[in-house]
């Protein structure tokens, strides 16, 4: 059975403590599958000073090929460095609703907890790890949920955490302490977790 989740809002503490004891996996075969692709784009440009004709046209084609190769390489690699786990430290939510996903990331221990929702009858709870821009879920228990994505790439855009799951789904998450949640939203998250604990 589940242990109670303790919610510490930013006015009291900087992060939420979430805990869940092990129960038998009700959906033992539901978890699995990792993947993801990345890459750049190529662009061809013509020499604006070229004219039509045999020799000039041939030179323009060569220039276009060189430019396309250089541009493709630069575009593909221009994603910036992966965030450190210290930058990811905290409690992240998509929204102040019961169906929000949640990451609790503890930079001090390297531990990551994930909830697929806060519906006590339809959630999955996972532990995981982080390395070089990728969160990997390693041990999941199902409580009526059907979560299957086991890895996600993450990036930071200011105070926003952008998440791309291995299956292609994306999410935008905010830090409970620094992500701009209003006091009303913080209170609603507290109420949702209280109901989850009671369930």
Sequential DSSP letters for the chain: -PPPPBP--TTT-SS-B--------TTTTS-----------------TT--SSHHHHHHHHHHHHHHHHHHHHHHHTTT-PPPPHHHH-EEEES-SSTT--EEEEETTTTEEEEES-S-TTSEEEEEEEEETTEEEEEEEEEEB------EEEEEEETTEEEEEETTS-EEEEEETTTS---HHHHHHHHHHHHHHHH-
Query: Is residue 34 domain-resident?
Result: no
What is the b/e burial string over 24-61, where b = at least 16 CB atoms within 10 angstroms of the residue's CB? eeebeeebeeeeeeeeeeeeeeeeeebeeeeeeeeebe
The per-residue pLDDT for 152 is: 98
When comparing pLDDT for 49 and 89, which is higher?
A: 89
Query: Is residue 5 domain-resident?
Result: no
Query: Is residue 122 domain-resident?
Result: yes
Range of the domain at 133: 85-198
Query: Is residue 30 domain-resident?
Result: no
The per-residue pLDDT for 79 is: 57
The per-residue pLDDT for 180 is: 85
The per-residue pLDDT for 108 is: 97
The per-residue pLDDT for 56 is: 45
Report the distance separating Cα 58 and Cα 67, nearest Å: 15
Total domains in the fold of the chain = 1
Q: Residue 101: which CATH number?
A: 2.40.128
Highest mean pLDDT among 25-34, 60-69, 71-80, 136-145: 136-145
Query: Is residue 180 domain-resident?
Result: yes
What are the tens digits of pLDDT across the range 9-63?
A: 443 333 343 433 333 444 443 444 333 333 444 444 444 444 444 444 444 444 4
Query: Is residue 42 domain-resident?
Result: no
Query: Is residue 156 domain-resident?
Result: yes
What does the pLDDT average to over 79-104? 94
């Amino acid at each position: 059975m589940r242990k109670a989740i303790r919610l510490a809002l930013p006015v009291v503490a900087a992060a939420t403590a979430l805990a869940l004891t092990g129960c038998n996996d009700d959906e033992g075969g539901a978890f699995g599958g990792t993947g993801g692709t990345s890459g750049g784009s190529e662009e061809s440009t013509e020499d604006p000073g070229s004219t039509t004709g045999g020799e000039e046209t041939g030179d323009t084609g060569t220039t276009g090929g060189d430019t396309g190769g250089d541009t493709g390489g630069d575009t593909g690699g221009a994603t910036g460095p992966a965030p450190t786990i210290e930058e990811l430290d905290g409690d992240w939510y998509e929204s102040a609703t019961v169906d929000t996903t949640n990451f609790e990331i503890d930079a001090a221990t390297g531990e990551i907890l994930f909830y697929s929702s806060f519906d006590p009858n339809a959630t999955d709870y996972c532990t995981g790890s982080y390395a070089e821009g990728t969160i990997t879920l390693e041990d999941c228990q199902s409580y009526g949920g059907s979560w299957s994505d086991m890895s996600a790439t993450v990036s930071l855009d200011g105070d926003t955490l952008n998440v791309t799951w291995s299956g292609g789904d994306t999410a935008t998450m905010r830090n409970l302490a620094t992500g701009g949640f209003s006091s009303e939203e913080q209170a609603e998250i507290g109420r949702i977790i209280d109901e989850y604990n009671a369930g």
